[in-house]
Structures are given as C-alpha cells and as structure tokens.
Structure 1
Amino acid sequence: MTRKPWEIPFLAEPEEVAALRRIMRLHLNLWGLPEVIDAAQLCVSELVANVITHVGPHTPTTLGLTMRDTRVRIEVSDPDTRALPTLLAAGTDAESGRGMALLDAVADRWGVILRSDSKVTWCELATGLGSPNGHTGGLRVDRAEGLIALYGEREVSRSAAGSCLTVAVAEEAAIDVIADLLHWLRAHGCDPDEALDRAQLHLEAEVEEAEWAIGQ
C-alpha cells in the first residue's frame, strides 16, 4: 500500500476542527490504519486549538499527514514564529494549558520546526507496521495481500502508478477473489452462504479478541 503525503490549507477557526477530524479519519481508513484514528483526531484537535488560542482565529494554517518510517506524522503549520507551543503542568481544574500535555501523552514524540516565515508543530504516532508500505492485521492480512496482488497484477500493469496496488484496485481484486472462492465452493457441493456466515463469525471473533488484548 502506497501512503502518499497530503496536506490541506484552512483558516484556524473552531468550526473547522470537526471537518479536519473527519478528513483525518477518512485518510487513515484509506491508509488501512484505523487503530490510530482516535489518537490522530485528538492530536489534530489540540494542534489546531493551539493555533487558535495562541496565534489567533482566522490564521492561515495547513494540516499535513505523512509516513515517517512506520510512524504517522501529523503537521500543523502557521505563519507565527513567536508563539511556540509549551508543555505546561496544568492542574486538573485548569481551564486551559492542558492541550499540549494531552498531545504529549498520546503521541510517541512531538516537536516544533522554525522556518524563516512560519513554524510547523508536529507529532508522530506508532502504527505497529513492519514497513512504511506494510499492513496491520497479522498473518491473515499478509496472506490475503499476496493473493490480492496476484489477482490485481493485470490492473497494476496497466497503471502508471508503479507496482503497488491502489486501494480501489485492491478492493476490486479482493471481490474477485471472494467470488471465485464462492464459485469453487458451489462447484464442490458446498453452501456459499453458509461459508460466508462462518467466515464472518471467524472475523468478528478474532477482531473482538484483538480489541480485548489491546485493552488489557
């Protein structure tokens, strides 16, 4: 999976935060990284709120998302090089000053890059990937990836994008894989609907087990 960097300009306003969170969720789902969505949305909220509070509303700002090795990197840039984010030890009753502390608790690391006419506040989140273009999900996902790649080989060869499957092409290839397996089951006297139901039960049980393990 190719995860290309992207960025979006916006004006720092409270009403923009919800849309930016939705955009972040959309891109991370497309990147196959749903596990980091909640943390990434919190980071976006706090980084944008920091601009609104310390630089000012209506500030021209840019939100960016990239992969740095196996980490997701979120960047928020603004034109003020003086108002630097500061990690404060805010009390539990404080009404402000806790934003960067929340980000510090969620992110693996964060920092600020000063440029001649702007600054970039960034943070990085661990993904659990083995490589920048890899997948989460374990052995089952790895096996499926190899099979989908075989089915999608002809479509990829026609694409100018290179040797990596796009999500759209991979999805169509996955549907072809499932359809062929259902034909195979039917040809051998098996019930395709029953097989789909059993596969869904396996998926739900394994996802539930994985979520329980993460929560421990």
Structure 2
Amino acid sequence: MASNASLARAARRTSARPVVSAADTLRRKALEKLTLAIAKAVESASDETLADIVGSHDLRHALVVAPRDIAPEAPADLEALKAARERTGQFREDIAKRAGGMFDRSHVAEMLGVSAAAIDKQRQRKQILGVPYGAEIRYPAAQFGDGEVLPSLKVVLEGFADMNPWEQLMMLTTPLEGFGSHPETIFQTLAKRPDTIVVKRLAGLAASWTA
C-alpha cells in the first residue's frame, strides 16, 4: 500500500500539470484551421483583393474579402462570384464618377506640394480619404478644392472610424437634405466652409452610419 508521503507527492505532480480545457483545445484547432485558410486565400488573391485587404481599416471586412479569389468548387459558385465581382466593379465605377474621378498618389502629392510618403501618412491619419482601386490606392477628386483638402474633412473622416473606405466614399457622395436649399453631398457642404455647428452635425452623421 502506498504511503501517505508517496500519495502526497503524486498529488503534487498531478496538480502541477497544466489543465487544458475543451474550449482551449477547440480555440487552438480553430486558429490552426483559419491560419491555413488565410494562407490559401492570400496565395489565390488578385492584386485588387490584396489592395482591398491592405487598405481596409476593418479587420472584419478584410476577413470577408480575403477568400473571394479562391476557386469555387461548383460552377454555380463560379457564376455567382463572377456576378458579384461585376456588381462590385460597377458600384465602384459609379461612386468614382460621383466623386469627380480618382487621383493617384503622385498627382495628389504634386497638387498639395508634399512628398508621396506624406500622402500615405495623411491617409493613415484620416486627413484625406484613399480607397483601394485595382492594385493601388486612389484619392477621390471631390475631397479637394482649389488645390487643397476641403476644410474640416478630417473631422468627418474621424467620425467614420473604421468603416470601409468605399462605404465612406458612398456616404460622402450621397446628397443629403438639411444642409442647403437643395440636397447636397458632404463634399459639397464642406466646400462651402461651413461653421463649427454644421461640421459637428456632419461628423455626428458619419458616426451614426458606423453603428
């Protein structure tokens, strides 16, 4: 029969072992599976998809778009994917037209008299809006006026928080009532150099759209 001392030593050894719960095991396996899925998605991703992921401020959006270039298993899925891409492309073309076209980074840098690196920093600081466009980031023309960024644009962009840049642009180019004698976009309102009260209203609207 084991002595009390040997039983105590066995108990100590048992209690020293880390306890792995079923939830921890499931979480680890899920992480392994997701890591493989993300690696496959990135390997299959087009330049446009990669740019969309890199330009996204919302991790959930990045996860949604990451697998869209993985070859579907069924012909019906392939047709659905093709149709979705066509709708996305048409949507972006329409929004780009509403925004007065798109400038590339070098054009914006020259217009504002700064370096290309400075443009990247301004975008990251929400001073200007950049959207994924093909394999690069483009800048909506309507956010500039007389060679400058529209006044108070940063306040509105900060209100959008981490909303997808294309969704931000859609909101910025949608005519709204209550800011003029006729419906006008946020870009148009900002171009009139509104007072602080109006700017706060616009920022509040932007924040409400992210809820």
State TM-score, norm by structure 2: 0.29
Considering fraction of residues, name the structure with more helix. Answer: 2
Greater share of residues in strand:
1
TM-score for the superposition, normalised by structure 1? 0.29
